[in-house]
Structure 1
Amino acid sequence: MKQLFIILMVLGSAVSFAQDKNKEKERQLQKANNYVHEGNELIDSEDYISAEMEYRKAISEQPTNIAGSYNLGNSYYEKGQYDEALFRHNQAAENATSKEEKHKAYHNIGNILMKNKMCKEAVEAFKSALRNDPTDDETRYNFAIAKECAEQQQQDENDKQEKEEEKEGEDEEKDKGENEEKEDDQDKKDEGDEDKKEGDDQKDDQGKPKDEKDGKEGKNKDQEGKPQPKQGQLSPQQIKNLLEAMNNQEQKVQQKINAEKQKGAKVKTEKDW
């Protein structure tokens, strides 16, 4: 009996605790909704700073409050603070429990991504919005715009990559041409050095061409084969010239004698005194 009494007391305490917890949640929800309501009124009066504070209070009171995150995201969006707006709308999308709430959150996420020129990501966000509400014309229109933007960005990326590849190819061809030109210059230099070396090899120690030296050496060798006159003696050629001159002189004398014989002997006249 005593044990049954204890069990009933425990059950009663659990029920009471659960009821208190539910009441606390209801209180937090009500309080959060009040903050959201006040924030909405401030948004209508374009007091975005005060509205942001009210939405923050709502989220602080109930972190899963969808309306607070969603409206705070819209407030950031109106001020051009797209990163903060994206963060809050992602919160709203994660905490959303109904298709309508998810649709609105993803729709706004798509709009924020479009502002950030993230068209490919925006396409996926609008797809998620349409999955939750395929009948929304505005979402379908934004989806078409985002898809066209994503395709254009992809084309631009392809063109950029193609240009970079072409530039890389041109740079490679340029480098190849420069290397070939350097190799040609080096070959010409090597050929010049080789010709210079061959020219140097054909010169003697005094820098004279070997051909000239070889010619002189050949001439000297030819003269070595002939008898060379000793000092004080006539060479054979000189002797030959001298004999020819003597012979010519003798012929002239003989011709003169013969001419006198043909004229006859002169008669000598003597006078007597």
Structure 2
Amino acid sequence: MKYILLILAIFFTSMNTFSQNEKKFIREGNKLYEQKKFNDAEVNYRKSLQKDSNYFKGRYNLANALYKQKNYDEASRLYSTLVDKEKDGKIKSNVYHNLGNSYLQKKEFEKSIDAYKQSLKYNPKDYDTKYNLSYAMQMLKQQQQQQKNKDNKDNKDKKDDKNKQDQNKDKQQENKENQDKKQQEQQKQKQVKKEDAERMLEALKNDEKKTMDKVKKEKAIGVKAKIEKDW
């Protein structure tokens, strides 16, 4: 819970030393910000920037309002444009801290760590930044371990898929060989049957021929010549 309080507690400074017209919008924006009406605060901060879109203080407060609305992409973009435009070490530390928080919310832990380290260069004793830096380092380690586990699982799945494909390929080859063998046996059986049929037919022909010859012979033997006796 402490961490949640920390990462949500970005550094906010009521920077309102503008010209009179712009100062009005910044003051109103700060008032709305304190009331947690961050969308309305954003509107006023944007109005304050219509005269000078690069004005540091207006952009900084706008980035804070965007962060509070969980628009971390635009908030981090704005913070990034501000880190090199301010000479005051305390404010520079705050910008880097808030930038680190934005990256942390987006789970871009390496960038978050870098931002916190930069913040500590300008304010080495800031406890919140030290705490968030430690947390970001732990989360990066966890993220890297999860990625490693995922990579290992993906590699295992790929290996299992390859083994399965190889097994299927071997099975298909085996089935093909069995099918070919079966077809060859069937062809051989057909050939044997054909040859058997031809032999049987030939045998029948031979038997028929022998039978006919025998019949003819028996008929020949059975015919007796009629002899006239001389009485």
Same fold (TM over 0.5): yes
Partner of 1:260: none
Whether 1:105 and 2:95 are equivalent positions in the alignment is: yes
- Letter matched to residue 78 of structure 1: K
CA distance in 1, matches of 2:123, 2:199: 104
Quote the residue 1:152 is aligned against: 142
Aligned equivalents of 2:95 and 2:199: distance in 1? 101
| Change in CA separation of 1:119 and 1:192 when aligned onto 2, cut-off 3 Å | same
RMSD: 3.3
Is 1:230 aligned with 2:224?
A: no
Query: Which residue, 87, 91, 94 being the options, matches 2:77?
Result: 87
- For residue 52 of structure 1, give the secondary structure of its aligned residue in structure 2: helix
Other-structure match for 1:192: 182
- Asked if 1 retains the 8 angstrom alpha-carbon contact of 2:39 and 2:69, the reply is no
Quick one: structure 1 residues 64 and 95, their matched pair in 2 at CA, closer, same or farther if it must change by over 3 Å? Answer: farther
| Cα deviation, residue 167, structure 1 | 1.1
- How many residues in Structure 1 have an aligned counterpart in Structure 2? 202
Cα distance in 1, alignment partners of residues 36 and 216 from structure 2: 135
Structure 1 residues 43 and 192, CA gap change in structure 2 (3 angstroms) = closer
Aligned residue identity for 2:148: N
Name the counterpart of 1:3. Answer: none
Q: Residue 121 and residue 213 in structure 1: after superposition, are their counterparts in 2 closer, same or farther (change >3 A)?
A: farther
Residue 172 to residue 178, structure 1, CA distance change in 2 (3 Å): same
Cα deviation, residue 212, structure 1: 5.1
Q: How far off is 1:82 after superposition?
A: 2.3
Letter in 1 for 2:146: D
Whose radius of gyration is greater, 1 or 2?
1
Structure 1 residue 186 displacement after superposition: 1.0
Q: Amino acid of the residue matched to residue 232 of structure 1?
A: K
Gaps of 5+ in 1: 1-27, 236-273
Matched letter for residue 29 of structure 2: G
Alignment of 1:110-259 (within 5 A): 110-204=100-194, 208-209=196-197, 216=203, 230-233=217-220
User: Which range is displaced more, 67-76 or 46-55?
Assistant: 46-55
Where structure 2 has 5 or more consecutive residues not aligned to the other structure, the ranges are: 1-16, 223-231
Asked if the contact 1:52/1:75 (under 8 Å) is kept, the reply is: yes
Change (3 A) 1:100 1:198: same
How big is the shift at 1:55? 2.1
Aligned to 1:64: 54
- Summarize the Cα distance change of 1:142–1:234 in structure 2 as closer, same or farther, 3 Å threshold: same
CA distance in 1, matches of 2:38, 2:120: 29
Q: Secondary structure at the match of 2:49?
A: helix
Hey, what's the Cα distance between the residues in 1 that align with 2:24 and 2:88? 21
Sequence identity percentage? 23
Q: Contact 1:67–1:92 at 8 Å: present in 2 too?
A: no
One-letter identity of the residue aligned with 1:60 = Q
Shift of 1:129: 1.7
TM-score normalised over the length of structure 1: 0.62
TM-score by length of 2: 0.72
In 2 relative to 1, CA 98–64 (structure 1 residues): closer, same or farther, beyond 3 Å? farther
